[in-house]
A and B are shown apart, each in its own frame.
Chain A
Amino acid sequence: MTTMTAPPSSKAAIVDVPFAHREIVARLSPGGRYIDAQSDIDSPWVPFGDKAAIKHLAFDVRQGIFSNILWIREPGVIGTHLHRGTIMMVCLEGSVKYLEYDWVASPGGLILEVPGESHTLVTDHPQGVKLFGWMQGPIEFYDENANFVETTDVWWFINHYETHCKAHGIPLNPKLYL
């Protein structure tokens, strides 16, 4: 057997790929989609405290998945929280670290977080940080005295988005709901 070492077609044309179940996919798949993040047309920045905001990108209520961009606009902290699911984040701008680890994330870098870890997100960058996240499962937030405050999951993130939209007369974007 030979292995592929490059994409086998570089033709800038749609190739009709054989697949037996196109009709079922068309009928039952929710379909992929594109959500723009350069403007606020697809999704607005929703305040998350005084220094931060969240641009919600996707909600999957069947798997408890939520995706968004977290923007901390200046040096600041997202206090200690514990993950019950798996998180993937990409640093888009600025920089960010966790008090628990010895690395500092810079643009393009990938952050993986796994169930059972708790950590404290800090940006020391003058312009703060923008982080793209793809997250599954609950995140438990604690106050500075380690008192449990709330568990956030896909429902919290939907409510955060929809409450802001309702308060500002912004129509809900059905593309955000997988």
Chain B
Amino acid sequence: MAMTAPPSGAYKIVAVPELYGDTIRRLGVEGTYVGGSEADSPWVPFGDNAAIRHLAFDVRDNVYVNILWIKGPGVIGTHKHRGRVWAIGLEGSFRYLEYDWVCKPGEFITETPGTAHTLVTDDPGGMKALFHMQGANEFYDEHGNHVETLDVWWFINHYETFCREHGLPINPALYL
């Protein structure tokens, strides 16, 4: 019979059978918690009107997770994805010029390899959204000239350069 609800509602840690606990304790990588404060991870400027709050870097899978904040009506110019993106709106709203929807808080989007798009917020308060990205993003100027390809290394460099310049400690919880 299929489970229709969590099988335990006990408000306690249940000891789960684990044959390889010693191996997991020795070689496993613990999960981490990144709190909401700027001490956990600061807002790093991304141009004049935007900032990125970095949350996770996975160099083995080229995955990076962050919150993008555009502080007022503005644009993140056309870029092309070579990997997969999942995002959820947190505040304000944003859209892509290529599509007919507007992403608002709690709403969810998927972007796939090969798609290029132009992120716009028309909201007076701008937007915040959580992005979970894999692989490379190619950024182009307004004439369609390729400028730079961004992936996990660019995002690590963006975070670490800002921390160094401002005397902030690097938070190891961001590195899987």
Of the four ranges (under 10, 10 to 19, 20 to 34, 35 or more), the interface on chain A belongs to 20 to 34
Of the four ranges (under 10, 10 to 19, 20 to 34, 35 or more), the interface on chain B belongs to 20 to 34
**Would you call B24 and A155 a contact (CB within 8 A)?**
yes
A24 sits at the interface (CB 8 A): yes
Which of A24, A29, A162 is in CB contact (< 8 Å) with B23? A162
Interface class of chain A by DSSP: mixed
**Would you call B154 and A21 a contact (CB within 8 A)?**
yes
**Would you call A159 and B156 a contact (CB within 8 A)?**
no
**Identity of the chain B residue whose Cβ is nearest the Cβ of A29 in the assembled complex:** B59
Q: Which A residues contact B (CB, under 8 angstroms)?
A: 20-21, 24-25, 28-30, 59-63, 150, 155-156, 158-159, 162, 177-178
A60 to B58 Cα, complex, angstroms = 12
A-B contact pairs, 29 of them (CB 8 A): A20-B148, A20-B154, A21-B153, A21-B156, A21-B157, A24-B153, A24-B156, A24-B157, A24-B160, A28-B57, A28-B59, A28-B156, A29-B59, A30-B59, A62-B29, A62-B60, A62-B61, A62-B176, A63-B60, A150-B19, A155-B20, A155-B23, A155-B24, A156-B20, A158-B20, A158-B23, A158-B27, A159-B19, A177-B27
**Identity of the chain A residue whose Cβ is nearest the Cβ of B60 in the assembled complex:** A62
Knowing that A24-B156, A62-B61, A158-B20 are A-B contacts, what are 12 other residue pairs whose CB atoms are under 8 Å apart, sorted by A's residue number?
A20-B154, A21-B154, A21-B156, A24-B153, A24-B160, A25-B59, A63-B60, A63-B61, A155-B20, A156-B19, A159-B19, A162-B23
The 6 lowest CB-CB distance pairs between A and B, nearest first, are A21-B153, A155-B20, A159-B20, A28-B59, A24-B153, A159-B23
Which of B20, B24, B28, B60 is in CB contact (< 8 Å) with A30? B60
Q: Which B residues contact A (CB, under 8 angstroms)?
A: 19-20, 23-24, 27-29, 57-61, 148, 153-154, 156-157, 160, 175-176
A60 to B148 Cα, complex, angstroms = 30
**Distance between B108 CB and nearest chain A CB, rounded to angstroms:** 22
**Distance between A59 CB and nearest chain B CB, rounded to angstroms:** 8
A60 to B60 Cα, complex, angstroms = 9
A29 to B28 Cα, complex, angstroms = 17
A21 to B150 Cα, complex, angstroms = 10
Which of B19, B23, B175 is in CB contact (< 8 Å) with A28? B175
Q: Which residues of B contact A28 (CB under 8 A)?
A: 57, 59, 156, 175
Instruction: Determine which residue in B27, B57, B61, B175 has the highest number of CB atoms from chain A within 10 A of its CB, and name it.
Output: B27
A37 to B28 Cα, complex, angstroms = 26
